[in-house]
Structure 1
Amino acid sequence: MSLVTDFFGLIEDLTWGWALIPILVVFGLFITVMSGFVQIEYFTRMFRVLSSRNQSGDPNAISAREALLVSVGGRVGGGNIAGVAVAITLGGPGAVFWMWAIALVGMATSLVESSLAQLYKRSNGDGTYHGGPALYIIHGLGAKYRWLAIVYAICLMLAFALGFNAFQGNTFAGAANDSLGIDRLWSGIALAIITGFIVYGGIRRIAKAADVIVPVMAFIYIGLALLVILMNITALPGVIWSIIANAFGLEEAVSGGVGAALAQGLRRGLFSNEAGLGSAPNVAATADVRHPISQGITQSFSVFIDTIVICSCTAFIILLSPVYQPGAEGIDGVVLTQQSLVSQVGTWSQYFLTFAILLFAFSSIIYNYYLGETALKVMTSHGAALHVLRFAIVAVVFLGATAPGATAVFFFSDPLMGLLALVNLVAIMMLFPTCLRILDDFRSQLKSGIARPVFQPAAFPDLDLDHSAWPHAKTAPQAG
């Protein structure tokens, strides 16, 4: 067992340890500059997705908003509550600034990977679509790279569908037990039943569940954060100055100064928003949109919601409270967030926070399941394999919920996610020129007066595209 642990430890050292974060940052900056700061250019356009509906009229189709909410539900999780608290504890208030910075850069990376997922998506023949990094590796780079797509799919399934789902089940049951006194066994049974109902409904039911859960989850948490901010509005300028000052070494809240703030902010930000890691594009590919760049813009917005909005809520809850003492030890993670909230608005708030954690965990479970289903399709099309996967997910969620120390065995998840990210980054680096071509097409249509650009796959005969996945191409785009 120690040999296996050492092997995965080596993978983690070679990815998250020193290589992956600098690559994600540098490549994100490169994309930002070469795309002409596309995430800033289309920032106001991102908000249109909140009111979007099914455009094709097909009852099975997934709208851009539904795909957004599924991806937000997956990105938003324990990292937004416990992870931010850890970043502030270890890196000081300055870590928040670097989380914001990596989110702005990551918005461009997410736009590229999600646009490529849309470009190379395949139709399921029933009004729904599937795709993601595995498919843009196979159809974008060529069949000779199929082995790379298989490596990606295996890492995706093991890390997200199994490892992280056990962790989310454990988080769900732990929160229910600590705050409500519900035994882990009953939480595990209830969560397994609900998970089974959702996963056996496929992406359509997953999208419908996310369309309800995610807005509730977000509004509750944002509402609590705004309440804390309003109660401490006079202290807000001082907190913002503290964030900036610690980020650039004008003040030093923890040992390590700027280095600690930079390292913690970048690491926690990337773990939280997943930009460039190759997970969210699998969901982005399911949306029925008129142009690949439209979904890229939507998924860029997902990064903004996750880090700039939700993570900032946690940061201000902590930094505006008397519980947080720079450099102090003993309170960190979700406990720090919880105690900070209680100190501001009373003990009743811990139940609201517990409810938010439960929703965060459940939305991540259904998101992680879909990633596993997508990975399975790359490796086999046998129907029995899908039923095995669904049963395995339900079982893993139950076992993770009922075993207090279960998460200790999932030491392989982070290393495999690191390998997953490296594979994805290699692919999008090679396909970036193709993404720039479709970005130019999107821009040229807007400049010509077309309010809602429509992708015409026939205009790109050199690309291996599924023309049936673009029903809107049959209708000429309208100016206006």
Structure 2
Amino acid sequence: MEQFYTLVDNVSGFIWGGTWGATAVLPLAPMVVMLLGAGLYFMIRLKFLPIRRLLPAFGNLFRGRKDNTDPSAGGDITPWNALSTALSGQVGTGNLAGVATALSLGGPGAIFWMWVTAFFGMAAAFAESSLAVKYREKHPDGHIHGGPMYYIKNGLGKGWVWLAVFFALGTVFSAIVTGNMTQANSVATAIESELPVPTWVSGLVIAALTFIVIIGGIKSIGSVAGKVVPAMALGYIAVTVVMLVMNAEHIPLAFQEIFSYAFGLEQAAGGIAGYTVLSAIRFGVARGLFSNEAGQGSTAIAHAAAKTDDPVYQGEIAMLGAFIDTLVICTMTALVILTVDGQYASGDGVVEYAWQSTTLQGAQVTTAVFGHGLPDVTLFGTVISPGGIFIAVALALFAFTTIIGWSYYMEQAVTYLFGDGLAKPVRYVWVAMVFIGALQPIDFIWRFGDISNAAMAFPNLIAILLLSPVVVAMAKEKGRL
């Protein structure tokens, strides 16, 4: 098994870092080049549409809260619920455990490269989601089926069906690992660290709740996501704002560390700047994709179900996902970790940072920081940590919404490959995997997740680049260019 773990590490290192073991075999990582390159390409081709249309997109989103669309318009859920479903997959443990992992492995500079990934990712999100609406299909079961599988098949033609199959298989792989097992594992671990609840109990409860929601399909998922996700995100942001206000004097130093580590400025004198920058880029881009999924193609599956016949309209709403997920929520988490924990010193007077710890991993880092940031209180003679409990609850909600969102992606991929008859059986398998994932070792799952993300992003990026003339033409037709 140890050899298999080493192989997984090496493959992940090659995809995201251009390394094999301790040896650098490529000057730049393949997925870093593809993700940032595709995002930059679309940002330029679209004449910075995501920036120009950011505020109008928010306006369209709020107008899309109610089901007031033309009855003839395709789709199963409102544009608001489509974005909420997409965000349910985006806003997950990547915003808590993933940010902490990026800091631990890539240093504060990784946050800068998460921002870059999200900035250019907004353009990729617009492209893939507008294509998903344009090329979606309505099946005999009466439901909409869409996403990269369908815009590859219907947009590129029969000669590219192999790429659609590749993407669908990658989606199954990624859904089980990053959309299911990683989420269940992170929340079970966090709860166990704060409360005397075994991981198997947490896994069982999450599995049961998941079953209740997903058994009704996309309409049930969209309805729950449309209510829970906005409240969950706003509540988390409110608490982090309070913590940042309490530690406002440390915020300038946090930004200084982010930018200096991103470009190796502080490490240049020691001759390790190049390694530091490459680590920041590798883990920042990888964790950025894990969090906002822009360019991966997953959120396009959710947006394909929106009740609209205007691909550009939904594409603009889709790009808000990367903005909200990474540029807002992930940034808040990173700033809390870098400002709050920096105030605590070890016995020898050296400042200790949780993200530099060799014993804390993933969500444990975030839990420790929030535990320090919000003072303990005594309730009925028992000392409790509000910060630790808050993160445990936040993780539970973030993970749960991600699990229900990704269940739909899994279902769409499987039905594309094997037919609509497997839609309901897939839901039962998905629930079982939630329980299994809660019991797995987190370090292995995280690294396996990088490979599964790439298995989706690679075919999707090829497809949207080949279909870029269609994306540009749609934007021009609506007067966006």
Query: Is residue 54 of structure 1 aligned with residue 67 of structure 2?
Result: yes
Please name the residue that 1:392 is paired with: 429
Once residues 245 and 408 of structure 1 are traced to their aligned partners in structure 2, the CA distance between those partners, rounded to angstroms, is: 30
Offset, 1:157: 1.2
Query: Is residue 278 of structure 1 aligned with residue 321 of structure 2?
Result: no
**Contact 1:164 1:413 (C-alpha < 8 Å) held by counterparts:** no
Change in Cα spacing, 1:236 to 1:188, as seen in structure 2 (3 Å) is closer
Match of 1:187 among 194, 202, 206: 202
Change in Cα spacing, 1:128 to 1:443, as seen in structure 2 (3 Å) is farther
Please name the residue that 2:20 is paired with: none
Please name the residue that 2:144 is paired with: 129
Please name the residue that 1:311 is paired with: 330
Offset, 1:342: 2.1
Runs (5+) with no aligned partner, structure 1: 448-480
Amino acid at match of 2:426: L
Change in Cα spacing, 1:236 to 1:169, as seen in structure 2 (3 Å) is closer
Match of 1:370 among 392, 395, 408: 408
Match of 1:381 among 405, 409, 419: 419
**Contact 2:124 2:294 (C-alpha < 8 Å) held by counterparts:** yes
Offset, 1:19: 0.9
Offset, 1:176: 2.5
**Number of aligned positions between the proteins:** 443
Offset, 1:319: 1.3
Offset, 1:328: 4.3
Q: Deviations over 1:317-339 (max 9, x none)?
A: 11111257469443453222222
Between 164-173 and 386-395, the greater mean CA deviation after superposition: 164-173
Match of 1:415 among 429, 435, 451: 451
Matches within 5 A, 1:15-414: 15-17=15-17, 18-48=29-59, 49-52=61-64, 53-56=66-69, 61-124=76-139, 128-161=143-176, 164-252=179-267, 256=273, 257-321=276-340, 322-323=343-344, 325=352, 328-330=356-358, 331-346=360-375, 347-383=385-421, 385-401=422-438, 403-405=439-441, 408=444, 413-414=449-450
Once residues 123 and 130 of structure 1 are traced to their aligned partners in structure 2, the CA distance between those partners, rounded to angstroms, is: 6
Change in Cα spacing, 1:138 to 1:95, as seen in structure 2 (3 Å) is same
Change in Cα spacing, 1:404 to 1:121, as seen in structure 2 (3 Å) is closer
- TM norm structure 2: 0.84
Change in Cα spacing, 1:134 to 1:3, as seen in structure 2 (3 Å) is farther
Offset, 1:51: 4.5
Once residues 145 and 115 of structure 2 are traced to their aligned partners in structure 1, the CA distance between those partners, rounded to angstroms, is: 31
Offset, 1:312: 0.6
Change in Cα spacing, 1:14 to 1:319, as seen in structure 2 (3 Å) is closer
Query: Is residue 442 of structure 1 aligned with residue 453 of structure 2?
Result: no
Once residues 270 and 181 of structure 1 are traced to their aligned partners in structure 2, the CA distance between those partners, rounded to angstroms, is: 33
Q: Deviations over 1:394-416 (max 9, x none)?
A: 11112223x35488579765424
Please name the residue that 2:21 is paired with: none
Once residues 420 and 79 of structure 2 are traced to their aligned partners in structure 1, the CA distance between those partners, rounded to angstroms, is: 29
Identical residues among aligned pairs (%): 33
Once residues 285 and 412 of structure 2 are traced to their aligned partners in structure 1, the CA distance between those partners, rounded to angstroms, is: 28
Offset, 1:135: 0.2
Between 334-343 and 99-108, the greater mean CA deviation after superposition: 334-343
Once residues 442 and 401 of structure 2 are traced to their aligned partners in structure 1, the CA distance between those partners, rounded to angstroms, is: 20
**Contact 1:71 1:283 (C-alpha < 8 Å) held by counterparts:** yes
Q: Deviations over 1:159-211 (max 9, x none)?
A: 21466412322223222222222233332332222211212100000001111
Once residues 368 and 178 of structure 1 are traced to their aligned partners in structure 2, the CA distance between those partners, rounded to angstroms, is: 26
Change in Cα spacing, 1:237 to 1:440, as seen in structure 2 (3 Å) is same
**Contact 2:177 2:445 (C-alpha < 8 Å) held by counterparts:** no
Runs (5+) with no aligned partner, structure 2: 18-28, 345-350, 376-384
Change in Cα spacing, 1:150 to 1:258, as seen in structure 2 (3 Å) is closer
Once residues 399 and 154 of structure 1 are traced to their aligned partners in structure 2, the CA distance between those partners, rounded to angstroms, is: 21
Once residues 78 and 201 of structure 1 are traced to their aligned partners in structure 2, the CA distance between those partners, rounded to angstroms, is: 24
Amino acid at match of 1:54: D
**Contact 1:157 1:376 (C-alpha < 8 Å) held by counterparts:** yes
Offset, 1:121: 1.2
Please name the residue that 1:474 is paired with: none
Offset, 1:215: 1.7
Once residues 208 and 75 of structure 2 are traced to their aligned partners in structure 1, the CA distance between those partners, rounded to angstroms, is: 24
